[in-house]
């Protein structure tokens, strides 16, 4: 199993550009989440999904869109990038039914918005 | 609503000394509690978790944490640290009914010095 994969690893955008961060998991997990990590602020939940076709907002959803058309994929879209979105983004997945408490994290995408 | 407070942002210790990383939480619902570790330029890995049962939980590499319901705390301890334990440690809580909606503390940087 590859676990949770994220692409790209690094990305530089100009203000106003749009892009999609990709996340995929091959563990057949129902739950998937997107977090951003900023220095001294831990991880903050952006959006999450409890299954294909179902998404919900987390703590900091503004400026981001998500969709979940398959169990495996959970892309995060930046509609119009802003410098405040410079951060490291982590995708995570976990079982739903029979959840044993663990989230599995991808390696992260480091995004810089100029 | 739930929140997590990690009481120390940085903890420097000498090798083979004991260490305690402190975590307090608040929640209006029953929660699961976690400690994750993040090594430089990597994603988060689960260190240990409390779901139910015994209030003392242990990891395979010598860390332990004790759930204290009355003090709403989940402090992480290790009796003798190694250089390789140098990393950032995150305390997290999740509602026990929603695997995808975790709240993280701001992190504690543990630096082990020779």
Nearest residue on chain A to B47, judged by CA atoms? A102
Angle at B59 between CA B1 and CA B23, to 5 degrees: 35
Partner-chain contact A43 B90, CB within 8 Å: yes
Q: Which of A21, A9, A14, A37 is nearest to B38 (CA)?
A: A37
User: Tens of pLDDT along A4-26?
Assistant: 999 999 999 999 999 999 999 99
Are A105 and B104 within 8 A, CB to CB?
no
For A83, list phi and psi in degrees, rounded to 5. -55, -30
Tell me what percent of the residues of chain A surpass a pLDDT of 70.
Answer: 96
The pLDDT score that the predictor gives to residue B88 is 95
**CA dist B39 → A82, B84, B96 (Å):** 28, 10, 27
Cα separation, B38 vs B85, whole angstroms: 10
Chain A, chain B: beta-carbon pairs less than 8 Å apart: 70
What tens digit of pLDDT does each residue of B97-106 get? Answer: 766 678 899 9
| pLDDT band at residue B94 using 50, 70 and 90 as cut-offs | confident
CB contact under 8 A, A40 and B101: no
Q: Comparing B13-22, B84-93, B99-108, which segment has the lowest mean pLDDT? A: B99-108
Nearest by CB to residue B102, choosing from A30, A40, A103, is A103
Identify any residues that bridge with B27 across adjacent strands, giving them in sequence order: B2
Q: Is A3 within 8 Å of A91 (Cβ atoms)?
A: no
Q: Is the dihedral of CA A32, B39, B79, B106 positive or negative?
A: negative
Is A105 touching B (CB cutoff 8 A)? Answer: yes
Collapsed DSSP state (helix, strand, coil) of residue B43: coil
> Residue range B5-30: average pLDDT?
94
Gap between the Cα atoms of A113 and A111, Å rounded: 7
The runs of H, that is alpha helices, within chain B are none
- How far apart are the C-alpha atoms of B36 and B49, rounded to whole Å? 9
* Rounded Cα gap, residues A72 and B71, in angstroms: 40
């Amino acid at each position: 199993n590859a676990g949770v994969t994220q692409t790209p690893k690094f990305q530089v955008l100009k203000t106003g550009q749009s892009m999609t961060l990709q996340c995929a998991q091959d563990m057949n997990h129902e739950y998937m989440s997107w977090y951003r990590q900023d220095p001294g602020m831990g991880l903050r939940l952006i959006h999450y999904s409890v299954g294909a076709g179902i998404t919900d907002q987390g703590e900091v959803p503004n400026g981001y869109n998500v969709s979940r058309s398959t169990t495996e994929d959970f892309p995060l879209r930046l509609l119009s990038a802003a410098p405040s979105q410079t951060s490291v983004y982590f995708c995570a997945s976990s079982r739903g039914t029979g959840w044993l408490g663990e989230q599995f994290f991808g390696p992260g995408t480091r995004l810089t918005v100029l | 609503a739930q929140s997590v407070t990690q009481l120390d942002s940085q903890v420097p210790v000498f090798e083979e000394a004991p260490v305690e990383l402190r975590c307090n939480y608040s929640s209006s619902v029953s929660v699961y509690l976690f400690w994750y570790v993040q090594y430089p330029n990597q994603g988060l890995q689960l260190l240990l978790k409390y779901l139910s049962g015994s209030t003392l939980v242990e990891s395979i590499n010598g860390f332990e944490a004790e759930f204290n319901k009355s003090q709403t705390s989940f402090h992480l301890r290790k009796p003798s640290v190694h250089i390789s334990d140098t990393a950032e440690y995150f305390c997290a809580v999740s509602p026990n009914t929603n695997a995808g909606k975790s709240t993280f503390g701001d992190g504690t940087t543990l630096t082990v010095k020779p």
